[in-house]
Amino acid sequence: MNIEQFRSSLEEKGISLSDFQLEQFETYYEWLSEWNEKINLTSITEKKEVYLKHFYDSITTSFYVDFNTFSSLCDVGAGAGFPSLPIKICFPHLHVTIVDSLNKRIHFLNQLSQALKLENTHFYHDRAETFGRLKDKRESFDIVTARAVARLSVLSELCLPLVKKNGLFVALKAASADQEIEVGKKAIKALGGRIENVHSFQLPIEESERSIIIVKKQTETPKKYPRKPGTPNKSPIED
């Protein structure tokens, strides 16, 4: 996907990017490419692939979630900033928080945010299990996102404790998620959520499968969740 295809494809979805926003994406690509030689941020490095599989793919979330109606977003395990920073570029009013367990990535994101001139972005070197127990973070975000971090039953325990009541947990998956959803229903319910929608589609050009799972937070998450670091992955609530 070249830059013009990127711009026009988003335009078709009602997202009009200014010259400044397009420049931000160009700068994003340049920084990602440069820093990827120092630390492992992504295996996708070709420019057209980055624009399609990272930038556009991240922004597809906004085709199903109206970010104009929300003000705060937390991205769990964002790695090189996906999906939250492409979303932030398109919807600059959002206050974005990223939590990631690798300090090298957090350092990159801090530097990148300054280069992109992003305001109201905050980066935390922490595990989601401990971050979700902080009094000022727990149940404080309108939307919590996660992209290809773990299976849904595990992700739910990492993300739903951070979502405020009536907020959304949005999981981006690289393929059909039917089995994950079936297995993850128990965890989602136990953590106070309910699956509101599942959107399956294909990325343009290469036509690879994608799924976006939208979970609404209905009740407060029980205080015992999230459990200690590592426990959700070793012993998911599905068991």
Contact 213, 145 (CB under 8 A): no
Torsion of CA 25, 9, 58, 40, to 10 degrees: -50
Residue 239 pLDDT grade (very low, low, confident, very high; cuts 50, 70, 90): low
User: Does the predicted TM-score (pTM) go above 0.85?
Assistant: yes
Contacts 24+ apart (CB under 8 A), 40-47: 41/79, 41/80, 41/105, 41/108, 42/79, 42/80
Residue 200 pLDDT grade (very low, low, confident, very high; cuts 50, 70, 90): very high
Return the structure tokens found at 85: 């920073």
pLDDT of residue 137: 97
Bind-site residues for S-adenosyl-L-methionine: 77, 82, 128-129, 147
Q: What is the mean pLDDT of residues 82-96?
A: 98
**What sign does the CA torsion over 25, 170, 121, 11 have?**
positive
**Domains along the chain with CATH numbers:** 3-234 (3.40.50.150)
Q: What is the mean pLDDT of residues 26-45?
A: 92
CA dist 58 and 50 (Å) reads 11
pLDDT of residue 43: 86
* Distances from the Cα of 100 to the Cα of 4, 192, 232, angstroms: 32, 23, 16
pLDDT of residue 208: 87
Which strands form 163-173's sheet, in the order they lie side by side? 121-125, 95-100, 72-76, 141-147, 163-173, 209-217, 193-202
Mean pLDDT of the chain: 95
Bind-site residues: 77, 82, 128-129, 147
- State what percent of residues in the chain have pLDDT above 70: 99
Helix (H, G, I), strand (E, B) or coil at 139: coil
Total number of residues shown for the chain: 239
- pLDDT for residue 175 is more than 80: no
- pLDDT for residue 149 is more than 80: no
**What sign does the CA torsion over 169, 142, 97, 29 have?**
positive
Cβ of 23: how many Cβ atoms within 10 Å? Answer: 14
